[in-house]
Amino acid sequence: MSETTRTDFVNKLRGVAKKVRETVIAWRRRPIARARKLRPYATKALETVKAWWIACTNRLRAYAGSAREKLRTRFPMLDVYARTLRLHAARVLQTVGSGYRAGLATIGRVSPRTAKAIVACETWLRQSNRRRLGLTALAVVLVLVTGFAAIFPEAAGRYGRVIFTSNRVVPLPDETRRAVREKAKQLAAALDSRLDRKRKLAGETWTSAQILVALRENDPGYASRIDVKLVEQYFRSMAGPECACWRRFPQGTHPNHLGVTSWVLWTFAQYGIPAHKGELEFLLSAQGSDGGWPLFGGAQQEKFASSYATAAAILALHEQSALQPDRQQKRRLAAAVDRGAAWLKSRVVAGRARWVDYPAWPEAQEDFLGVSGFALFALHRVGAWWLGSLDGEWLRELPAQAPAALRGEASAKAVQVGNRSFPDETRYYELPWTILATEEVYRSAGIFRKVRAVQWLERALAPGASIYELTGREKSATIVAEALLALRNEVKHE
C-alpha cells in the first residue's frame, strides 16, 4: 500500500470518528435539554407533594390527638397502663444497660480481644443512622414485649407456648396436661374393662366400635394387646344379614344404619383390617347424586341426607382407602370422599361453621354444636384444603363457656324408609366433638387463631372442668368413648 493511499484511509477514518463523536454529543445534549425544561415542573410538583404531605400529616396529628383524648376520657385505665409500661420500659432499659456494661467488663477480663470486638461492633452501629434506627426499633419491640408480658402475663405465656411449641401439640399449661393425662388413663381403663377377660366384645355394635376407636386413638399400642381376628369376627357376625352392613341392633326390624357401618369400617381401619368389597360397595352405593349420605339405608338420599352420616361416611372411606391394594378402588373412595366433603361445604350455615342434622328438612331447624364439631373434625381428617374460612368462623362462634360433659342433642326426626318411618335416635354430645374440632383447627391455624383456640381449650380442659366429672361408669359408653377421643390428642404427645 502506497503512502498516499494510507494517508487517505487514515483521514477518512478520522472523519468518521469525528462525525460519530458529534452525533453522540448531540444525542446526549437532547435529554439534558429536556431535563432542564422539565426541572421547573418537577420542582413545582415536589413542592406540591411536600405541601400535601405536610397538610395530611398535620391533619392526621390533629385526628390522632383528638382520638387520644377521647380514648383517655372513655378509658381512663389506658393512662395507668401507659405509665406502667413506661415504668417497666425504664427498668428494662436500665437493667439491660447495666447488664451490658457488667457483661462487657467480665468479657474484657476473660478475653480482651472479644471485648474490643464488641465495642467495635457497637461503634459500627452508632456510625449510621439506619443502623441506630434499626437497633432502636429492636429495642422498642423488646420493651413492648417485656411490658406486655409484665402487664398481661397469662396472655404472654399463651403466645409464648404457641410460638415455641411444635404445631402437632396443643400447648396447654403443665397442670392441665397432667390432669388430662390422668383422666384419659382412667377413662381408658374403664372402657377396657367393658371387654371381658377373653377379650370378647359385648353390647351394641355402634358402642363397641366407638370404644375400640377411642382406645386405639388413645394408645397406638393397644392394637397389639387385643386379638384383631376376634374383633373382625365379632363385627362380621353382627352384620347383615341381607347386606354387608350393620344396624344399630342386629335383632328386630331396624334399618341398615350408615352411621354404625361407618364407625365399624373406621374401627377396622384403626386395627389394620381391610374392609370387604361388599362393605365398601354398600357405602358407595348409598351416596346420593349430590354427594350426601342418608342415615338409614333405603331412605331417599336427597331428602333425608344427614350431616352426621355424611361426615361419618367420608371419615370411614378415607381411613379405609389406605388399606386397599387396588388403585382403581382407591380412586373411587377418594372421589366419594371429595363429593361428600363438597356436600358438607355447600350445606354449612353461612358465616357460622355450623351444620343442621338434615339440611333438606322442610321445617325450620336449629344447627347442632355436636354435629358441627363432628363434621369439621371429619373434614380435617380427610384433608379438605378449603377449610381456612370455616376454621376462622368456628373459632369466632365457639361458646364462651364449654358445654357440660353430659349435655347432648338429638333431633329424633322420623326418616322414611320404604313404607315405614324410623326415628333418628342419634345423640350428639357437644363437648367431645367441640374439643376435637378445635384441636384440629389449631393445627392448621395462624398464630392469632392458635391463641384463640388454646384459650378456649384451656377453659374446657382446666382441672375441675365438667369433663373430669366423667368416671367411666356412666350407663352410656358412648359419652365415655367420645370423651377419651377428645383427650387422646393431649395424651399421645406426652
Segment 154-179 shows an average pLDDT of: 85
Instruction: Note whether 440 and 486 are within 8 A (CB).
Output: no
Let me know the angle formed at the C-alpha of 321 by 167 and 238, rounded to the nearest 5 degrees.
110
pLDDT tens digits for range 115-137:
777 777 777 766 766 666 666 66
pLDDT tens for each residue of 200-255: 565 678 999 999 999 999 998 898 888 899 889 889 988 877 788 998 877 767 78
Bridge partner residues of 409 (DSSP): 428
Instruction: Detail the DSSP E strand segments found in 230-323.
Output: 293-294, 305-306
Largest CA distance in the chain: 125
Q: Say yes or no to pLDDT of 406 above 50.
A: yes
CA 114, chain centre distance (Å): 46
Residues 140-176 as b or e (16 or more Cβ within 10 Å = b) = eeebeebbebbeeeeebebbebbeeeeeebbbbbeeb
CATH no. of 172-491:
1.50.10.20
Dist CA 342 CA 331 (whole Å): 16
In our burial notation (b when 16+ CB lie closer than 10 A, e otherwise), range 366-376 reads ebbbbbbbbbb
Q: Write out the H or E segment, with its range, that includes residue 416.
A: strand 414-417
- What DSSP element (H or E) covers 415? strand 414-417
Tell which wins on pLDDT, 71 or 174: 174
Task: Give the model's pLDDT for residue 494.
Answer: 44
Convert the pLDDT of each residue in 4-52 to its tens digit.
777 777 777 778 787 888 888 877 777 777 777 777 887 888 888 888 8
Residue 315 has pLDDT above 90, yes or no: yes
Percent of the chain exceeding pLDDT 90 equals 40
Residue-wise pLDDT tens digits, 438-470: 999 998 888 889 999 999 999 999 999 999 999
3-state class (DSSP) for residue 427? coil
pLDDT, one tens digit per residue, over 291-300 is 999 999 988 8
Please give the grid coordinates belonging to residue 472. 367411666
Its sign, for the CA torsion 414, 416, 422, 427, is negative
Return the half-sphere exposure (C-beta side, CA atoms, 13 A cut-off) of residue 157: 11
More confident residue, 10 or 324: 324
> What confidence score (pLDDT) does residue 165 get?
81
Residue that wins the pLDDT comparison between 197 and 366: 366
